[in-house]
Structure 1
């Protein structure tokens, strides 16, 4: 591995961690959303600082080409992020439907009361 590649890997991982932490600090990203990005950043930093760790892990798992392990790990993290967002979207849709039904019932009750008041 060349020095340029080594430095680029470390700088990229640090940049990911800095961006995620800054988004957390400014409250543009919630902790439960940031966890997978932090894990990815830390793993990338470990692989960047200690490149032999990636080779060792790939050999331990039985992956022939270490970069394939990186791709698999990246896809797995993106899958988990997508799954988390899908779960939260489903919950929000359910809450939105419940709120819309409650508002409709309140409006119906208000309409009935205004009709009764006019009739009296």
Structure 2
């Protein structure tokens, strides 16, 4: 029963990521880590002996500790990716704000110059 629950959870996670991508609520570059995690969970659910084998190869005492460690690493990588993208967006926002401020100054100067220019009478 536990194996079926693991398989169902992995399939639901994978289907959720695909559906979010289909609805354009999740971009491909963000979905990579979630798809990887879902596929790893599916493999672990289908072949639970593989988790024990990998834990033994890596020298991890309990397979569940390996699962938690891999989960933490994946969440760390997602967080790192989001932090890098946030930094890029902050830089772009600052640049755009500076460009808007410069455009505003230019517009004010043009308006002031237009107000100061002498009105030429319309003479035929």
Question: With structure 1 as the length reference, what TM-score do the two structures score?
Answer: 0.97
Structure 2 spans left out of the alignment, 5+ residues: 118-124
- Which residue, 42, 46, 49 being the options, matches 1:45? 42
Deviation at 1:90, TM superposition (A): 0.2
Output the aligned Cα RMSD. Answer: 0.3
**Where does structure 1 differ by over 4 angstroms across 4 or more consecutive aligned residues?**
none
Q: Which residue of the partner structure matches residue 100 of structure 1?
A: 97
Measured against aligned partners, the alpha-carbon deviations of 1:11-57 in whole angstroms (never above 9, x if no partner) come to: 00000000000000111000000000000000000000000000000
Q: Which residue of the partner structure matches residue 26 of structure 1?
A: 23
Q: Aligned residue pairs: how many?
A: 117
Q: Which residue of the partner structure matches residue 79 of structure 2?
A: 82
Structure 1 spans left out of the alignment, 5+ residues: none
Deviation at 1:108, TM superposition (A): 0.4
Q: Which residue of the partner structure matches residue 109 of structure 2?
A: 112
Counterpart CA distance in 1 for 2:81 and 2:21 is 18
Q: Which residue of the partner structure matches residue 53 of structure 2?
A: 56
Name whichever structure is richer in helix by fraction.
Answer: 1
Counterpart CA distance in 1 for 2:67 and 2:25 is 28
Question: With structure 2 as the length reference, what TM-score do the two structures score?
Answer: 0.94
Q: Which has the larger radius of gyration?
A: 2
